[in-house]
Structure 1
Amino acid sequence: MTHARHLNRRQLLLAAWPAGAAAQAQEQPLQVLIDGSIEMPQAQFKNGEAVDGFQVRLAQEIGRRLGRRVRFRLVPRRRVPQMLADGNEADMICNYLPSWLPGPLQWSRPYFDDADLLLTATRRPPLARLQEAAGQPIGTVSGFVYPEMDAALGARFVRDDAPNALATLRKLALGRVDHAIVGRVVFDYLMRRGEVALSLHPPLVISRVKTACALSPHSSVKLAQLDAALAAMQADGSLARLVDRYR
């Protein structure tokens, strides 16, 4: 009888451990990195706090569905890979691709359609293909990778980096470069708001992408949980409404 009671207590302790661990995980904030080089419609910060933008609202909705409060960290792009690999101060970052962010990370189901565009000012002849830009300075964003351009131009891909897409477009408008690479979603957003006056040829599509969230291998959030949250958002239309809000 004594032996049986001992086993029962041990079984109860073992059964309580996963629940206790799960409760502890729920109390931890979901630590979401925001790349410091992005801007609206992806993210907007005020006094160091995340206040708006697609990535901000997306992370907040994921956190709500996981039962986790969200803590945002605005960090330089170069720090993102190591912070996610370490997992001490970061659980995830969203709107990335594995080719942009190599490392031992877990990747969610893709959810967001975008494209990289090569823009050319009308003061120059239009480009029919990427190779025609070889050797010419091209406006780019510092820290961003452009594997298709690297493949097409190799050493003749001449980058002219700026801190973000808006600064890149302003350089194009001022004639400091004749070509620039920007994401379609950001470009459309800035053009609709008249942020920069540009006269452009029809853009060349460098690549079409479907981005995802990168999850730290040390995160207390499981990949299956993250995928389930995104799948539910796709199924109930909340993700589509969020995308439309920032188009």
Structure 2
Amino acid sequence: MRLLPLIVLALSAHVTAEERPLRFSVTESWAMPMIRIENGQATGGILYDLQHRLAQKVGRRAELQVMPRMRVQQIMVRGEIDVRCYVNPAFLQESHYQYIWSVPFMNQRDVLVSRSQPPQDLHPEQLPGHAIGTVLGFTYPRLEPLFARGDLRRDDARTQHLVLDKLLAHRYDYAVSNDKSLEWYNRHQPPGQRLYESSELGNDLMSCIVRNEPDVPTMQLLRAMVRMKEDGEFDEILSRYR
């Protein structure tokens, strides 16, 4: 008879483990429409909707952990993040052998931004000696060789929104932004203070990576991403923020 309480306890522990929230990393330097962060908590945006929907698909709750980008790799190595979204292999300088890539869920264009409309496409190679507004910790494959040679100088800000604020305030003449953040920023500016795309710096497919361990429904999550793409759910989420 004494075995019965032990069996009940074991079953209870098993159910509790299955119901553990899925842990998603959220980088505090992201800006709307990708994510809204208020008082250190993610409260809305494309990735907020995507990650909650993905967790719902596999019967879990989503736990969005907001952290500096520099900490994400450390947390992932320790197995404390289950899913990292909004990433492309070209952006990573470290190995993620314990994670599996999902299908892409969106396309992102990185663009050079200025305060005035250029007469023609203006490329970073034409701006020797200039400071370029960038996000702290972000990697820009097109610009990295120019930074390394000293042809351009990084001027980092903590978030994408602050990068554009500094450009508007004449702290530098050019900055880098993804196209969706630039469109969102301009939506909230009066006509005379809108910023302009000068040229395209990159065009990348963005995916998620999922930790491949027994305590994570890895294959279910990856299949859910495929179904969401086939059913048009990604496009539906993106359309809410256009």
Give TM-score, length-normalised by structure 2. Answer: 0.84
RMSD of aligned C-alpha atoms? 2.7
Q: What's the CA shift for 1:204?
A: 0.5
Q: What's the CA shift for 1:236?
A: 2.0
Structure 2: how far apart are the matches of 1:241 and 1:226?
19
Confirm or deny that 1:242 pairs with 2:233.
no
Whether the 8 Å CA contact 1:134–1:153 is kept in 2: the answer is: no
Whether the 8 Å CA contact 2:105–2:207 is kept in 1: the answer is: yes
Relative to structure 1, the CA distance from residue 195 to residue 219 in structure 2 (aligned partners, 3 Å threshold; closer, same or farther) is farther
Give 1:194's aligned residue.
Answer: 189
Which of 45, 51, 65 is matched with 1:53 structurally?
A: 45
Give 2:134's aligned residue.
Answer: 140
Look up the SS of the partner of 2:184 in the other structure.
Answer: helix
Q: Which structure is higher in helix share?
A: 1
Give 1:6's aligned residue.
Answer: none
Which of 207, 211, 215 is matched with 2:206 structurally?
A: 211
Structure 1: how far apart are the matches of 2:100 and 2:28?
22
- In the alignment, structure 1 segments of 5+ residues that lack a partner are 1-18
Q: What's the CA shift for 1:115?
A: 0.5
Quick check: 191-200 or 93-102, which moved more? Answer: 191-200
Give 2:61's aligned residue.
Answer: 69
Deviations 1:68-111 (A, max 9, x none): 11111110100011211221x21112111122233223221111
- In the alignment, structure 2 segments of 5+ residues that lack a partner are 1-10
Confirm or deny that 1:40 pairs with 2:20.
no
Structure number with greater Rg is 1
Structure 1: how far apart are the matches of 2:106 and 2:236?
12
Give 2:82's aligned residue.
Answer: 91
Relative to structure 1, the CA distance from residue 124 to residue 230 in structure 2 (aligned partners, 3 Å threshold; closer, same or farther) is closer
Quick check: 186-195 or 64-73, which moved more? Answer: 186-195
Q: What's the CA shift for 1:192?
A: 1.4
Structure 2: how far apart are the matches of 1:117 and 1:149?
11
Whether the 8 Å CA contact 1:124–1:178 is kept in 2: the answer is: no
Structure 2: how far apart are the matches of 1:58 and 1:195?
30
Q: What's the CA shift for 1:166?
A: 1.5
Q: What's the CA shift for 1:180?
A: 0.3
Give 2:216's aligned residue.
Answer: 221
Structure 2: how far apart are the matches of 1:114 and 1:106?
21
Confirm or deny that 1:116 pairs with 2:110.
yes
Look up the SS of the partner of 1:240 in the other structure.
Answer: helix
Structure 2: how far apart are the matches of 1:22 and 1:236?
33
Identity value in percent: 29
Whether the 8 Å CA contact 1:130–1:149 is kept in 2: the answer is: yes
Structure 2: how far apart are the matches of 1:139 and 1:125?
21
Give 2:4's aligned residue.
Answer: none
Structure 1: how far apart are the matches of 2:203 and 2:185?
19
Quick check: 237-246 or 192-201, which moved more? Answer: 192-201
Q: What's the CA shift for 1:142?
A: 0.6
- AA matched with 1:121: R
Quick check: 202-211 or 94-103, which moved more? Answer: 94-103
Deviations 1:104-149 (A, max 9, x none): 2322111111110011333987663321123210000111110111
